[in-house]
Amino acid sequence: MKIVDERIRDYICSLEPGQEELYERIAEDARARDIPIVRPETGALLKTITAAKQPGAILEVGTAVGYSALLMASAAPERCRITTIEKYPPRVREARENFRRAGKEEQIQLIEGDAEDVLARLAGPYDLIFMDAAKGQYLHWLSRLLELMAPGAVLFSDNVLQDGTVVQSRYAVERRDRTIHSRMREYLYQLKHCPLLETAVVPIGDGAAISVRKGQGEPI
């Protein structure tokens, strides 16, 4: 199942002016090795939100090879500091090397470890949080993310429509995917019904949820 007509997606991507050669090489290499990185049209939306928000502090959950962190760094003000979390050692090493090659070592701090453990000890607050890690854990982490968000902060959750399967009955998806399917549906419900958030679910890439923290208050 496709979320967006492929011709429309291809046209949108064709409008992109391109980016730094290093970033292009990082993206091409990751896709050639089937390493999950943000899709081009989703990356453009992420950069646009970063540019609009002009955050002072960004948190990313799920670094992979560092591509999306670099995209955000390219659109954020120089004063912005980015914290990104990754637990897979080979990707940690590769991401750090990519940050070094891009000259972003001072701006981007990569914390190696399990996201749940790292999130528990972070202080925040963050003006922008990009969620692109284990999809089955989004719901579990939501309460903690709300604690880390400054009033007016943006939570950008990627891959929330699961290639369109999220709209199907749980019995229509593969048995091994049913837990993630049910958790993602519940996550989207919580985002839309949380009194502390204003959320739009956008059918772009593999689906993105853009949530804004309304103000002070207790997490769900």
- Residue by residue, DSSP assigns 157-209 as EESTTGGGGGGS-GGGS-GGGHHHHHHHHHHHHHHHH-TTEEEEEE-STT-EE
Which is nearest to 73 in space by CA: 28, 110, 36, 104?
104
**What is the tens place of the pLDDT at every residue in 58-110?**
999 999 999 999 999 999 999 999 999 999 999 999 999 999 999 999 999 99
pLDDT confidence of residue 1: 57
Q: Please determine, for residue 171, whether its predicted confidence score (pLDDT) is greater than 60.
A: no
- What is the per-residue pLDDT across 114-170, written as a single tens digit (0 to 9) for each? 999 999 999 989 999 999 988 789 999 999 999 999 999 999 999 888 654 555 555
The pairing of beta strand 208-213 with beta strand 197-202:
antiparallel
6-213 architecture in CATH? Answer: 3-Layer(aba) Sandwich (3.40)
- The reported pTM is 0.90
